[in-house]
Amino acid sequence: MMEKTFAQQFEALIEKYSELLVGETNEATRKKVKVWAVYTHIAKSMPALAKHWNELYPEAKEEMKGIIKEIKELNEEHRRASKK
């Protein structure tokens, strides 16, 4: 089991990452950023596993595509707003 202190510190890392990535740190966005980050890592490091999961759970694959699209759009908006 993870230490409570570590868990809190890791959540702070995710919160900062979410802020820098998409400009939002609310709980729902942080959860999506976590899912996006883990899935992206899996797809890059073990593409066969991601492909298998996508085939096994097509509805989840569609939801993942929506999360990926949302994170991408939020990131683009955040980058545009940061340039102003």
For the chain, how many structural domains are there in total? 1
Cα separation of 82 and 74, whole Å?
12
At 7-64, the pLDDT tens digits run 999 999 999 999 999 999 999 999 999 999 999 999 999 999 999 999 999 999 999 9
Domain assignment present for 11:
no
Q: Which residues neighbour 32 within 8 Å (Cβ) at sequence distance 6 or greater? A: 67, 70, 71
pLDDT class for 84, splitting at 50, 70, 90? confident
Task: Print the domain residue range for 59.
Answer: 47-84
Residue 68 reports pLDDT greater than 90: yes
pLDDT of residue 2: 72
Domain assignment present for 57:
yes
Task: Count other C-beta atoms under 10 Å from residue 73's C-beta.
Answer: 11
Cα separation of 41 and 23, whole Å?
21
Cα separation of 74 and 18, whole Å?
10
pLDDT of residue 1: 66
Radius of gyration of the chain (CA): 15
Domain assignment present for 23:
no
